[in-house]
Structure 1
Amino acid sequence: MTAGGTYRPSWHGEDTEALASLTTAFMRKEFVPHRERFEEQQHVDRELWRSAGEHGLLCCAVPIEFGGPGGELVHDLAVLEAHTRMADATWGNMVHSGIVSHYILAFGTEEQKHRWLPGMVAGDLVAAIAMTEPGTGSDLQAITTRAKREGTEYVINGAKTFISNGYLADLVIVVASTDPAAGHRGISLIVVETAGCPGFSRGRMLRKLGSHSADTSELFFDDVRVPATNLLGGEEGRGFVQLMEQLPQERLLIGLQAAGMTALALEETIAYTKSRQAFGRSVFDNQNTQFVLAEAATKADAARVFLDWCIGRHLAGQLTAATAAQCKWLLTEVLCEVVDQCLQLFGGYGYMTEYPIARLYADARATKIFGGTNEIMRQVIAKSL
């Protein structure tokens, strides 16, 4: 905790801390030296995924029988937290390991788990989930992508945008309507294996305000044919329910990412203000600096405790959608507020991209948008009151 003392979340243990240390070492060796190149090309190298798989950093919760390390969700959380604290909110492992693998684990048939999870664990298959469309945003019920059953196949037509891992994705869970007349009850999740897939194409690599090394793309489906066995779970019309069941976990992951970014912003700023001299004393010695950092640290610590409480509830199977929305809203709002205040204390240097605080500032803004905008979070919370 920034305010001092010893704080250990209830979900932390010797195994998660060892995994976090391994992740930190991996990021220092495999990611940080190549950061500028990754940002320029707007995606990490495929070799990074395979190396992460070799180090046991992908899909930690996948059981041994499906090629995984046999861990739990807390191990995926430990990896995410550690690489976020390395000033990286861009590598798409959160989507790959924290989201897609858990969709397959929760809803996939035994055949689907055996077919897809080993490759994801190894980093040979990069995974994505395609929800958002150019005209729908957070309104999942309004999707226009269609999947029509023809014999033993589904024929998919539509377009998706803002898809994390889209450029490298070998495996895409596509949110599509299999029965447009049924509304949200006609939504299904269908897995598209992109290699040599006629009709599947990737659009432009999307240039973003921040998260420059994040692989974010448009995806297009023009009469894409996939086997009917690629219907996740094997039952049509279950997609919306599946999404609603998994979105609380996604929002927890975003909260954890935000907490790591907030903590890093404070660490960098405290160190900088104590070393930076102005008017004969350190910037930290100014009362305004101390007051700003005191308030920021208190908000960050309070939000972090709430996050860890939410994680505990989730691990016990007791986290509600509304509480997950509160977590996502609070942690991302605190992040953006704190990062803005911290950048100000850097003065002109805070605006220079060579300083981590500038990268954090640009990366932070998206957290209030993805995973459901914070406006949607407020609506979810309000419905529970």
Structure 2
Amino acid sequence: MATQRPAYLATETGLFLAGRSVGAPGERGGDLVFNTAMSGYHEVLTDPSYAGQVVTMTYPLIGNYGVAEEDAESARAWPEAFVVREMAARHSNQRADSSLPDWLAKHGVVAIDGVDTRQITKHVREHGSVRCIVSTETSDPKELVARAAKVAATDGRDLASEVSTQEAYTWTDGYDASYPALEEAARGPRRRLVAYDFGIKRNILRSLVHTGFDVTVVPAWTPAADVLALEPDGVFLSNGPGDPAAVTRSIDAVADLVGKRPIFGICLGHQILSIVLGAKTQKMPFGHHGSNHPVRDLATGRVEITAQNHSFAVDASALPSGVELTHVNLNDGTVEGVHHIGLGVSSVQYHPEAAPGPLDAAHLFRRFAERLG
């Protein structure tokens, strides 16, 4: 283990737990969320959509296969802190570059194990979205609970602009292995695509390239005129963290693009596109974070098991005229996909690139490519 020092977790609602530090020393806080995936912790930790949040893994043993840098979804760690029941004492994986505790310490992630993650999960489910703090510096329960109550929540924060690239760049890497679900659409001429980076994951970019797109990634605040100057065949809106209603510059840019190019959005991109079309978004009680969420495609009737990571959702009770509901979550009925009948734009709340997670929805990249002709 990287360290044996004690660590503590406290929520604004009064939960206090003592455990052991298995990452960097310090004190960090944010919205407390739980992720139900059984593997893929490295992808979770490097997903920019987790900015501003403290991530609890519900699977009891984490770190058993170490960290392989080639699996990273970005160049750094994004959660404010990381919470697990038990950190593996040893890792075993021929691909691993380091142990998870060493990686957490290297990337400055405050992390705690030896706490009851079932209790934490039940607490979030009962109390809804709560702020929390993880500390190796203070052990006083009252003080930590008070500090947790002062942590900045994700409500009203434009976190997408904080995690976005600062300059445009091209992405050319696809997948090394065969990916039949995507390759069928790549047999024709390649299509030019501009991808807005609200916190984009590398496997989304790989999926787009593998589907036949030449991808230019632009910052979250890029004006529509600059995007159109690149003469793209289509526009992609990426995943990302925070409150979609707060990403006002991006909303304005997308509003100027609707009707001018085909658009496909994922996660935060889905929420931003929905706002542009006249819908509203709201914060969920405890969000969807994991790789086992059932979603029904209303056009085909097919149920897909999906990967998800979001704390906000489109309000299903007030979809505007012209916006068709295309996908629905079978657990709670939330909006999982929309399409505007006349404007050639569509989006889904979940992650068809599924890293980590199932590949049931990979065909959505192909569907978007086929829309572009």
Q: Give the TM interval when normalised to the shorter protein.
A: under 0.3
User: Which protein has the bigger helix share?
Assistant: 1
The structure in which a higher percent of residues are strand is 2
TM-score (ref. length: structure 2): 0.27
Larger radius of gyration: 1
